[in-house]
């Protein structure tokens, strides 16, 4: 079983939106997925309440229960889940650190703005301190061709670590799917947002299998 934690203290980066759609896409691709909502805002829990599909499994973990995360993950593995996705609150808290520590991979979404990129710092520094593998995900990139914003942001982030592929564009499908309790691949299966999220899952799966992210990140930082 693999565990991916969506983390960054920056609110609105897309942790919850991507967690929901990635969970659906991974389930569709054959994984048995459980999603744990560690954010007292409970956006993901509310999304799940709007769903009719029984998968992926979604549960809320209140702050007091987060220290039990390692044993909860063990229990989920025992029940046959192959992927757990953690959605965390947009604060640099003990709960977030427990999630990062328990994860095989910390995924740090960021919008392609200077303010957002800077706000990832506390999170990737925490990941480095904890020796946890991390990747950036550039989200809400302008979909217009040749827009330099995403390229410049990708260049800045690539000095610090790996960026997940593909870049995720700003697309209304993400907002409309979430509002309907759906992942983008369920909402508009042939759409570009769906294509990007399916690609993201394939890339992440391959990446978790094949690479030691920690070493890659270290190389990047000294290189
Ligand atoms: N790729 C995208 N295209 C369009 N809208 C997006 C995209 N990703 C996220 N959004 C929108 O951006 C807003 C913030 O996203 P989201 O709630 O997922 O961020 P978050 O990181 O979970 O924030 P918080 O820290 O407050 O929990 C939402 O309105 C969501 O619909
Ligand atoms: Mg959220």
Superfamily, domain 2-222: P-loop containing nucleotide triphosphate hydrolases (3.40.50.300)
| Distance of CA 146 from the midpoint of ligand 2 (Å) | 29
> Would you say the CB of residue 16 lies under 6 angstroms from ligand 1?
yes
Residue with tokens 């991507």: 18
Q: Is the pLDDT of residue 223 over 70?
A: no
Kindly report the average pLDDT of the chain as a whole number. Answer: 93
Q: Is the Cα dihedral 207, 208, 209, 210 positive or negative?
A: positive
Q: Is the Cα dihedral 16, 18, 19, 23 positive or negative?
A: positive
> Would you say the CB of residue 47 lies under 6 angstroms from ligand 1?
no
Instruction: State what percent of residues in the chain have pLDDT above 70.
Output: 94
Q: Is the pLDDT of residue 222 over 70?
A: no
Q: How far apart are CA 58 and CA 85, in angstroms?
A: 9
Q: Is the pLDDT of residue 213 over 70?
A: no
Q: Is the pLDDT of residue 67 over 70?
A: yes
pLDDT digits (tens, 9 = 90+) for 138-194: 999 999 887 889 999 999 999 999 999 999 999 999 999 999 999 999 999 999 999
Largest CA distance in the chain: 49
The ligand that comes nearest to the alpha carbon of residue 166 is 1
pLDDT digits (tens, 9 = 90+) for 108-117: 999 999 999 9
> Would you say the CB of residue 123 lies under 6 angstroms from ligand 1?
no
- In this prediction the pTM is 0.95
Q: Which residues surround ligand 2, an ion (CB under 5 A)?
A: 15-16
Q: Is the pLDDT of residue 210 over 80?
A: no
Angle (deg, nearest 10), helices 192-210 and 172-179:
90
| Distance of CA 176 from the midpoint of ligand 2 (Å) | 16
Q: Is the pLDDT of residue 89 over 90?
A: yes
| Distance of CA 119 from the midpoint of ligand 2 (Å) | 15
pLDDT digits (tens, 9 = 90+) for 4-47: 999 999 999 999 999 999 999 999 999 999 999 999 999 999 99
Q: Is the pLDDT of residue 220 over 70?
A: no
Q: How far apart are CA 19 and CA 38, in angstroms?
A: 12
Domain boundaries, the chain: 2-222
Contact 97, 131 (CB under 8 A): no
């Amino acid at each position: 079983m693999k565990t991916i934690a969506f983390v960054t203290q920056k609110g609105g980066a897309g942790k919850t939106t991507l967690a929901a759609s990635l969970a659906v896409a991974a389930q569709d691709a054959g994984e048995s997925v459980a999603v744990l909502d560690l954010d007292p805002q409970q956006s993901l829990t509310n999304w799940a309440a709007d769903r009719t599909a029984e998968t992926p499994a979604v549960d809320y973990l209140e702050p007091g229960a987060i220290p039990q995360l390692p044993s909860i993950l063990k229990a989920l593995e025992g029940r046959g889940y192959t992927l757990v996705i953690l959605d965390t609150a947009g604060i640099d808290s003990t709960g977030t650190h427990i999630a990062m520590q328990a994860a095989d991979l910390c995924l740090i979404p960021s919008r392609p703005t200077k303010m957002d990129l800077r706000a990832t710092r506390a999170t990737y520094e925490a990941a480095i301190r904890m020796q946890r593998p991390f990747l950036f995900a550039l989200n809400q990139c302008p979909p217009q061709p040749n827009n330099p914003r995403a390229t410049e942001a990708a260049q800045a982030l690539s000095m610090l670590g790996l960026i997940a592929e593909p870049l995720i564009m700003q697309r209304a499908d993400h907002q409309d799917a979430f509002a309907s309790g759906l992942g983008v691949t369920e909402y508009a299966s042939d759409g570009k947002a769906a294509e990007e999220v399916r690609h993201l899952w394939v890339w992440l799966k391959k990446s978790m299998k094949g690479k030691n992210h920690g070493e890659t990140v270290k190389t990047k930082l000294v290189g």
